[in-house]
Every structure is written in structure tokens, then in C-alpha cells.
């Protein structure tokens, strides 16, 4: 019996979850926010309690110290010896990490090197890894990459039709993201369908604030909607998804908003998507509330959102030459009855449908009619659990 922590470190935050393994029982979870700023917030949830404290957290090392102290303070653990493993989510693994890996100095350096591909995320991930290594040097420490699951994509899917030197010299290719989530829901869907994953063609739709869709053939990713970075693919809360790249030089020339790479990145990553179109919110709940009150911009934001998801599902039906099931997961995919209904009803020609009696709040498992050719499922994702399981896998090697 041992305790394992999964860590998801952002540039100014650190999300964690403590598991009892191999039982896979969540003992506690929490979030440290505003790291490096004044009035940082640490929240710990356990036994139905939620404890919040406001303090100044300087950096990720201090954040890890606070989190470990909190575990003792709230009697969630008695001593640090009980923690035998830690798993760190890392956003970009490039072409180098095809699987999760045991942490050593070389691995950390590689994660730092790959910051070129995820400048906001990888340095924060590496800081989290170093912080744990400093405080708990002897536990099994594993890095789990958002991109690993997609390293099985064929070259025709991951290469862009731009001059080859940008691939060979600058590593510009499709890497995708949300890999742990797509892998988890694909495997779980196979269980729910009662069929071996090796027999299945699946389209997994991770639709949250960030959103991506993956074509999974026989359990492996063969194409995914996010691209070189998580900006590509379907429309998202604040990200554009795919747009015509010619828009960028055009706006550089004719507006004052696109002067630097940072400007371009900010507009496309943080000011676009649902927020940009609705001019109201990046949150689907707000969009739907406004839409029902007759707000035309919110309606349009919803319509574009649904349209882009439908088009990607259509693409992947072509890539896979058919599919056994379409799976919805993440914040919107798991919770929005409306989005699931709009997306699927509009593409019913392909042989999928939703049963209104099954497509309800809190639905899990199959939500299509029994005779649907392409089943539709809701599978709650659990990226933290995938990370904790990976730590177990390395412990047992």
C-alpha cells in the first residue's frame, strides 16, 4: 500500500491529487494558484472538507513544500515516507518521448530543452519536477507526456506541407496534446462496449476549455486535431483552432494589434474562440445562458463551435474509413447535453444518434440508441489517474 501524487504544474499554478495505490483511491487533492505573485492561494480538499489559505508562494519549490506540509497538517499523511511515487504531467515531449519516463537529470534537461515547443508549460513542468526531487529525492518519479500517445501518427498526418527544412531544422510538425485523456477514454470505451480495443475504430472528443479530437485505430492515435501547438484544431474557449494562416500577415499589415509574436500569440490563444466571437465569455455555460436569452453573438459562438467539431469528426470518419464509436469527454463533452445533441444530430447520416432519454445530465456510457451503427458514448476523463497508474507501472518494473 503506497501513496502516489500526480502533479500538473502550470506557469503560476500547481494542481495535485494524492492516491492510495494500487487501490486507485483519491485521498486528497488540491490546487496552488498565483505562484510567484502576492496573495497566492492553496486549496486542499479531502474527506468532504475544503481548506483554503492565502499566503505568498515564491516559486514551485515553495509550492511543493507547502503542499507536503499541508498533507501532514491535515493528517492526510503522518510522514513523508508514505509517499512512494510522484507523476508529473509534461505538455511537450516532442519526438523524443514516445512513452512516460523515469526522471533523472538527463530527462529533466530534455524537458527543459523541449520548452521551445511549449514555452509557457515545459519550464513550469520542469520546475515542479525539480522541486519534488529536491524535497523527496528517493521516491519513484515519472514524467507523463501529453504528446506521447500521438507519437504513433503516420508521417502523412504529422507533417505539414511546408518546406521540409522547417521540419528537419525547426521541428515543425504536428505533436497534438491531451494524449493521456484520449488514451484513457479510448480504453475505457472499449471496456464499456465489451470489445477488444484492437478491433475498434474510435473518435475521441476531448471538449473542455481546451479541446481536441483524435482518431484512434486499434488503440493507437493515427491523427489528432491539435497541431504543432494546442492552438490548432477545433475552436476552443479562447483559442481559434484552425484558421487560414494568411490572416496573420494581413492583420499585421492593416491593424495595430499584431506587432510582435507575443501580440499574435495572445490574440489567437487568449482572446479568440468562444470569447472572441461572443464578446462575452469563454465558458460554455455562459454562452448557453446568453444564447437562450436571445444573444445573437453567443448563438454564433455556439454554432461555430459545433460546426468545427462536426467537421473534425467527419475528417476522422474519413481517416479511419468509418468508426465504431464517438466518445465525448472533458468539461463540455461530459456535461453539455446540448453540445452532444447538436453535434451528433447534425451528422446522423453517418449512422450515429443520441437517445434523448440517455443523453441527460450526469450521463455516462452509451447514449446512442441500441441499433446505432456508430455508438456515442460519454466517458469522464481522468488524466490524474493515468499519471498515477504510470507511476505504478514504473515502480513495478
Q: What is the DSSP letter of 352?
A: B
Select from 189, 156, 195 the least CA-distant residue to 203: 189
CB contact at 8 A, 314 and 340 = no
Cell of residue 53, nine digits = 489559505
Beta carbon of residue 210, minimum distance to ligand ADP (angstroms, whole number): 4
In whole angstroms, what separates CA 92 from the centre of its chain?
A: 12
Of 70, 146, 188, 295, the active-site residue reads 146
Measured from the CB atom, the residue of 25 and 285 that comes closer to ligand ADP is 285
Q: How many CB atoms lie within 10 A of CB 376?
A: 24
Residues 203, 325 contacting (CB under 8 angstroms): yes
CA 167 to chain centre: 25
Cα end-to-end span (Å), the chain: 17
DSSP string, 158-178: H--SS-THHHHTT--S---S-
Q: Is 59 a catalytic residue?
A: no
**Shortest gap between Cβ of 55 and ligand ADP (angstroms)?**
24
Q: Which residues contact ligand ADP by CB under 6 A?
A: 208-210, 237, 283-285, 330-332, 335-336
Contact 386, 179 (CB under 8 A): no
Question: How far is C-alpha 395 from the geometric centre of its chain's CA atoms?
Answer: 25
Nearest residue to ligand ADP, scored by beta-carbon proximity: 331
Residue with cell 515547443: 117
| Distance in Å, CB of 201 to ligand ADP, minimum | 25
Q: 225: which residues sit within 8 A by CB, 6+ positions away? A: 176, 211, 212, 213, 214, 232, 233, 234, 241, 312
Write down the least CB distance from residue 285 to ligand ADP, Å.
Answer: 4
CA distance 223 to 157: 6
Q: How far is the CB of 22 from ligand ADP (least distance, A)?
A: 26
Q: What cell numbers appear for 201 in the block?
A: 475504430
How far is Cα 11 from Cα 330, in angstroms, rounded to an integer? Answer: 22
CB 108 within 8 A of CB 93: no
Q: Whose Cβ is closer to ligand ADP: residue 281's or residue 369's? A: 281
Residues assigned a catalytic role: 146
Amino acid at each position: 500500500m503506497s501513496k502516489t501524487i500526480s502533479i500538473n504544474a502550470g506557469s503560476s499554478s500547481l494542481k495535485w491529487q494524492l492516491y492510495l495505490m494500487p487501490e486507485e483511491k483519491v485521498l486528497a487533492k488540491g490546487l496552488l494558484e498565483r505562484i510567484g505573485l502576492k496573495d497566492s492561494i492553496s486549496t486542499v480538499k479531502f474527506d468532504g472538507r475544503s481548506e483554503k489559505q492565502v499566503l505568498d508562494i515564491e516559486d514551485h519549490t515553495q509550492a511543493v513544500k507547502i503542499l507536503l506540509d499541508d498533507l501532514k497538517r491535515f493528517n492526510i499523511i503522518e510522514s513523508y515516507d508514505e509517499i512512494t511515487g510522484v507523476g508529473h504531467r509534461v505538455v511537450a515531449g516532442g519526438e523524443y518521448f514516445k512513452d512516460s519516463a523515469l526522471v533523472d537529470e538527463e530527462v529533466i534537461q530534455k524537458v527543459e530543452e523541449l520548452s521551445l515547443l511549449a514555452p509557457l508549460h515545459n519550464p513550469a513542468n520542469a520546475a515542479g519536477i525539480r522541486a519534488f526531487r529536491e524535497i523527496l529525492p528517493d521516491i519513484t518519479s515519472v514524467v507523463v507526456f501529453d504528446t506521447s500517445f500521438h507519437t504513433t501518427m503516420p508521417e502523412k498526418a504529422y507533417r505539414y506541407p511546408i518546406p521540409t527544412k522547417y521540419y528537419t531544422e525547426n521541428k515543425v510538425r504536428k505533436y497534438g496534446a491531451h494524449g493521456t485523456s484520449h488514451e484513457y477514454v479510448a480504453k475505457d470505451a472499449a471496456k464499456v462496449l465489451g470489445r477488444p480495443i484492437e478491433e475498434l475504430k474510435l473518435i475521441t472528443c476531448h471538449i473542455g476549455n481546451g479541446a481536441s479530437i483524435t482518431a484512434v485505430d486499434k488503440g493507437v492515435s493515427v491523427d489528432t486535431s491539435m497541431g504543432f501547438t494546442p492552438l490548432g484544431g477545433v475552436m476552443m474557449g479562447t483559442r481559434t483552432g484552425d484558421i487560414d494562416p494568411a490572416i496573420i500577415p494581413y492583420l499585421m499589415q492593416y491593424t495595430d494589434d499584431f506587432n510582435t509574436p507575443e501580440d499574435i500569440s495572445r490574440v489567437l490563444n487568449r482572446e479568440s474562440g468562444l470569447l472572441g466571437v461572443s464578446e462575452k465569455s469563454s465558458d460554455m455555460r455562459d454562452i448557453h445562458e446568453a444564447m437562450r436569452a436571445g444573444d445573437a453573438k453567443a448563438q454564433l459562438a455556439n454554432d461555430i463551435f459545433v460546426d468545427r467539431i462536426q467537421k473534425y469528426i467527419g475528417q476522422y470518419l474519413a481517416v479511419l474509413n468509418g468508426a465504431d464509436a464517438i466518445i465525448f469527454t472533458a468539461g463540455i463533452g461530459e456535461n453539455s447535453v446540448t453540445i452532444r445533441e447538436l453535434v451528433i444530430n447534425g451528422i446522423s447520416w453517418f449512422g450515429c444518434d443520441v437517445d434523448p432519454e440517455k443523453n441527460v445530465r450526469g450521463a455516462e456510457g452509451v447514449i446512442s440508441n441500441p441499433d446505432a451503427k456508430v455508438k456515442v458514448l460519454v466517458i469522464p476523463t481522468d488524466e490524474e489517474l493515468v499519471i498515477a497508474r504510470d507511476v505504478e507501472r514504473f515502480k513495478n518494473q
